[in-house]
Structure 1
Amino acid sequence: MNLDFSVLNGYVPYVLKGIAITLLFTLVSALFGFIWGTILSLFKISDIKPLKWFANLYTSIFRGTPLLLQLFLIYYATPQLFKYDISPLMAAGLAFGLNSAAYLSETIRAGIMSVDRGQREAAMSLGIPYKTMMISIILPQAIKNILPALVNECIALLKESSLVSVIGVEDLMRRANVVGSDTFRYFEPLVFVGVIYYVLVLMLTMIARVLERRMRRSD
């Protein structure tokens, strides 16, 4: 089949360094997406109509346009419009975080609405402030209910992170392409990187299962 994985000799350490960048990018994007997505979900259930309209419009735009387009817009338009030379990694984290927030806002909103309404009414009757009620009572239960969906979003971010290679971020996919350019053999480095992505996804899934079991025991 004309396969020769020995072409990777000397390149393995170089490729493996991309794991740290990929994981860091995924973590930052997921964290930013979760925080902003939570805020958007609170906007959506708010009685303040401008906030609700903004959150719905935001979700519609980011879910209705390609992620790659959003990445290009942030990376290429930021220097042109704001005279700021944004780094590829920052542009990628911003684009993926903003996009992830649009999807997570719906997931988190559904999780909040799944919490028994009686708890909200009981907290309000006791005079507990809205902010305290959400942070201490409602959101912890909502997150527990939507944990599988949150894990799926993290897995999607991890796999979609390969798109950042198109703007020069030195992630796993970018490094695989560099090896392919040097050796004139692309199949072997791409398979090697594919195995790494698969292992990372399996590890993330295992961590999620452990967290889910612990949360169930804490009930």
Structure 2
Amino acid sequence: MFFGVSGASAQVPSAPSNVEGKTFTIGTDTTFAPFEFRDSSGELVGIDMDIIRAVAKSQGFTVQIKSLGFAAALQALSSKQVDGVIAAMSITDERKKVYDFSDPYFDSGVQMAVAKDNTDIKGYADLKGKTVTAKTGSEGESFAQSIAGRYGFTVKPLDQSATMYELVKSGNAAAVFDDYPVLAYGVSQNNGLKTVTKKEAGGSYGFAVNKGQNAELMAAFNTGLAELKDNGQYQAILDKYLKSPQDTVSADSSFWALLVSSMPALLKGLQNTVVVTLISFAFAMLLGLFFGFLKVSHNIVSRGVATTFVNIFRGTPLLVQAFFFYFGLPQIIGQPVNIWVAGVLTLSLNSAAYVTEIVRGGIQSVDPGQLEASRSLGLGYGTSMRRVVVPQAFKIMTPALINQLVILLKDSSLLLAIGFAELLYQGQQIYSNNFRISETLLIVAAMYFIVIMILTKLSNIVDKRFNK
């Protein structure tokens, strides 16, 4: 059986190109097996990954893969954080207004699936009055929306396939619409679903770059794709993931086996979580102290600057700030922003706004008579603050600062939205492949709990030592 494309015409000319020796950054989804997912060793694999790497090898260039999520990958492309996107992306007329597409590399289609034990829903007509789910921005969502009025159901889009399947299994959605190879792979991996409809005619997937840009990369992709089809490597890639069902369970499917196999990736994510938290907290303390002193200054301009800083970063959601620093800032400065830089900027500035208020509150909690007595002894304002007021204020502030450190560590999980490989991000990569969501999240939660308890204990020890 042949899987793939039917020979649709190219979207852009396959002109000769010179990309040998160059390195391109390619954005992709995080969880869309069998097109992109992480195997048991943590390696990003799948049809899309094998194709782009094989094309790169045949055309003499290298690729750096950024696993961001579908929507985030497109935002990264628009902000020029990546050179191209390969993420099982359907070629549509609307998207062709914004992106240039390669020759199609896969012809898809949509199917509907329900929970394995569901015997009530056998077709679209059984969905009246119910809620279904589909992946945001996908062909499945477009198809579901197109028939929702006719069959009387509501569509709830979600960002990840594994999350959609869990919604159906939990009974919070009656069915899921997804690309047929994705559903087939999930069913073969015991995701708890079954397909109940035939495949609907669908569109084609293509590799995308910003319109009018990276013409050499696009030409190289088309040339490489044609070579892969000619030499049989393309079909071998498809057969590897689609021709026969994958092993449905590992040799040992126990919780202990899951813990052991997932621990290397989770520990790497935990390390990133702790490092970004500590770096961000250090910067947040410096900024918080600076703006905190400005807040209690007698200078109205200084107070205004500090108040503006606090209002901006405490009055906007953390996710908005993360997207701005990683996707928006590059468009302003004309340069890509490293994901670590974006993560530290987001966490440190957001946390600094809260630390500023903690510092202000701590200083203002010290009896004003302390400052007046110090000044009456001939000490200057700065010396009085440094030697008399701040040491007392710090004792008052310490519990709140420890709490802010814990909040910062938990907030770091939101960086997964921009593809930062922290602990929860790694957990998502694992359950997107094995579909053991509850067990994986239980392990992740336990790791967060342990680290937070350790940080809290260490902070309390430091507090007792310096605030006797």
- Tell me which residue corresponds to 2:316: 65
Q: Identify the match of residue 24 of structure 1 among 272, 275, 278.
A: 275
- Which residue matches 2:263? 12
Alignment of 1:166 with 2:417, yes or no, is yes
C-alpha distance in 2 between matches for 1:59 and 1:26:
20
The separation in 1 between residues aligned to 2:387 and 2:416, in whole angstroms, is 40
Are residues 1:148 and 2:399 paired? yes
Match of 1:51 in 2: 302
CA distance in 2, matches of 1:135, 1:27: 25
1:153-193 deviations in Å (ceiling 9; x for gaps): 00101111100111111111111111112323322222111
In the alignment, is the contact (CA less than 8 A) between 1:45 and 1:109 conserved in 2? yes
- Percent identical pairs in the alignment equals 37
Deviation at 1:4, TM superposition (A): 4.1
After TM superposition, list the pairs within 5 Å mapping 1:119-198 onto structure 2. Answer: 119-198=370-449
- Residue segments in structure 1 that go unaligned for 5+ positions in a row: none
Letter paired with 1:193: V
Aligned length: 216
Residue number among 318, 340, 346 corresponding to 1:95 in the alignment: 346
Q: Which amino acid aligns with 2:424?
A: M
Residue type at the aligned position of 1:14: A
Q: TM-score, normalised on structure 2?
A: 0.44
- Offset at residue 74 of structure 1 (A): 1.2
Matched to 1:172, the amino acid is L
**CA RMSD between the two structures:** 1.9
- Larger CA Rg, structure 1 vs 2: 2
What is the aligned partner in structure 1 of residue 363 from structure 2? Answer: 112
2:284: which partner in 1?
Answer: 33
> Residue type matched to 1:40 in 2?
F
State the secondary structure of the residue aligned to 1:11.
Answer: helix
Gaps of 5+ in 2: 1-191, 193-252
Q: Which residue of 1 aligns with 2:129?
A: none
Deviates more, 1:107-116 or 1:56-65: 56-65
Between 1:134-143 and 1:77-86, the stretch displaced more is 134-143
Deviation at 1:146, TM superposition (A): 1.4
Instruction: Name the structure with the higher helix share.
Output: 1
For 2:335 and 2:372, how far apart are their aligned partners in 1?
A: 48
Give the conservation status (yes or no) of the 8 Å contact 1:4–1:188. Answer: no
Relative to the length of structure 1, the TM-score reads 0.90
2:334 to 48, 64, 83: 83
2:465 maps to a residue whose letter is R
Q: Which has the higher contact order (CA 8 A, sep 6+)?
A: 1
In 2, Cα distance between the equivalents of 1:163 and 1:198?
Answer: 17
Instruction: Give CA deviations for 1:81-120 in whole Å, capped at 9, x if unaligned.
Output: 0122111121111111111111111111110112232332
- Larger mean CA deviation between 77-86 and 130-139 belongs to 130-139
Describe the SS at the equivalent of 1:85: coil
Structure number having the greater strand percentage: 2
Kindly state the Cα deviation for residue 17 of structure 1 after the two structures are TM-superposed: 1.7
Q: Which contiguous aligned blocks of 4+ residues in structure 1 show a shift greater than 4 angstroms? A: none
Question: Distance in 2 between the 1:83 and 1:141 partners?
Answer: 46
